[in-house]
Amino acid sequence: MKPAVALVTVFVSACAGAPADPSSAPTKPNLSADSCALARPDFGGAATGTDRDLFAYDVNAPLNLQKVVESTTNGVETSTISFSSPGGGSVTGLLFDPVGRSSLRPGMVLMHGMPGTARGMAAYAQLLAQFGAVVIAIDAPFARRAGEPVRLITEDRGEQIQLIKDLQRAVDVLRARANVDDERIAYLGISYGGAMGALFVGIERRIKAAVLVVGDGGLVSHFTGPEDLNFMAGLSCATRVNWFRAMAPIEPIRFIAHASPTALLLQNGRLDNLVPTADAQALQTAAPQPKTLHWYDAGHGLNQQALFDRHDWLHEKIGLDARQ
């Protein structure tokens, strides 16, 4: 199947997931010591330098990249990969390389939804590689262990910080490849990957463009939305307060204001039953320029037009091959 034809038929599987001025004097999330409210906490202002330092790591540490070729299809070599994680252990994922191309290629980092794995992004990653990009899809930390993706315990904080370090490490892997143009690296995240992308773009300075698909403000925003109020009410007061205290300071919506000059595309659906319109609008408002905002009369999975729009935008921003 030709890439242009395949693009018409492939839709990304989006899983349930989930104006700030960086120069202004930011405030910390407001969580009183005896608060037991179900309401969403006040996230305060944009993230501070100290907040952003939580995601620092040694960029010069060995990658220890391990790569095993699985197949070559339509000029794209697909490999399983692993590389050292800054927090210990290994990041796992998939690499898609258009090995038949002789010129420098754009690079892309993909992030899946929740629950999900890198393997769930494989069909889309294959298409993007057929259109000329070298693509890495990684597994989130929760996908590399047993149990629920979100456990509503303070360890969720460590995993979210770990994810952003792992994504930065994925950029290191792309930049280490001889066929990747370091000036044309993009990020694309779906659902949970879209929300976490709002945090990632506030930390990572080496990406030129980022697509946040059906994202919201983050895990706290998601679990304090109208669809989860009954669930939150079933948790003990201590569980809620401790989780809010751990997670609110690293809520992605606090970080996206630092994304500039990375170009942003945010795509959302007016009929999305997982990301309320108000939450999508809040993230769009917090995003700095340059940004492109697209709404669709569609649910969480969006539609074919959204797929075309993001492809055309990536063609313009990083030189992905044009649709035919």
Predicted confidence at residue 119, as pLDDT, reads 98
C-alpha torsion 213→193→202→219, nearest 10 = 110
> Do the domain assignments include residue 43?
no
Tokens of residue 120, six digits: 């769930």
Predicted confidence at residue 33, as pLDDT, reads 40
> Do the domain assignments include residue 143?
yes
> Do the domain assignments include residue 51?
no
Cα 49 from Cα 250, distance rounded (Å) = 12
Q: Enumerate residues 6+ apart whose C-beta is below 8 A from 319.
A: 106, 132, 181, 184
> Do the domain assignments include residue 16?
no
Give the CATH number for residue 182.
3.40.50.1820
CA-based radius of gyration for the chain? 19
Cβ-contact 193, 80 below 8 angstroms: no
3 state DSSP class of 270: coil
Predicted confidence at residue 31, as pLDDT, reads 53
Amino acid at 26: P
Cα 136 from Cα 167, distance rounded (Å) = 10
288 upstream amide cis, omega within 30 of 0: no
State the total domains in the chain. Answer: 1
* Domain hosting residue 203, numbered range: 61-318
Predicted confidence at residue 264, as pLDDT, reads 99
Burial classification of residue 91, based on how many CB atoms lie within 10 Å of its CB (0-12 exposed, 13-18 middle, 19 or more buried): buried
> Do the domain assignments include residue 52?
no
> Do the domain assignments include residue 38?
no
Predicted confidence at residue 35, as pLDDT, reads 58
> Do the domain assignments include residue 145?
yes
> Do the domain assignments include residue 18?
no
Predicted confidence at residue 30, as pLDDT, reads 61
Amino acid at 235: L
Tokens of residue 116, six digits: 């999900």
Predicted confidence at residue 142, as pLDDT, reads 97
Please list the rounded mean pLDDT of every run of 10 residues in the chain (324 residues).
46 37 43 64 94 96 97 98 92 97 97 98 98 98 96 97 98 98 98 98 98 98 90 92 96 98 98 97 98 98 98 98 94
Q: Enumerate residues 6+ apart whose C-beta is below 8 A from 113.
A: 13, 14, 15, 16, 17, 120, 190, 191, 192, 193
Cβ-contact 306, 294 below 8 angstroms: yes
pTM over 0.85: yes
Query: Which letter, b or e, does each residue of 261-298 get, where b requires 16 or more Cβ atoms within 10 Å of its Cβ?
Result: ebbbbbbbbeebebbbeebbebbbebbbeebbebbbeb
Tokens of residue 140, six digits: 């989130």
The phi-psi region of residue 170 (left if phi > 0; otherwise alpha if psi is between -120 and 50; otherwise beta) is alpha
Predicted confidence at residue 5, as pLDDT, reads 39
Tokens of residue 225, six digits: 């939305």
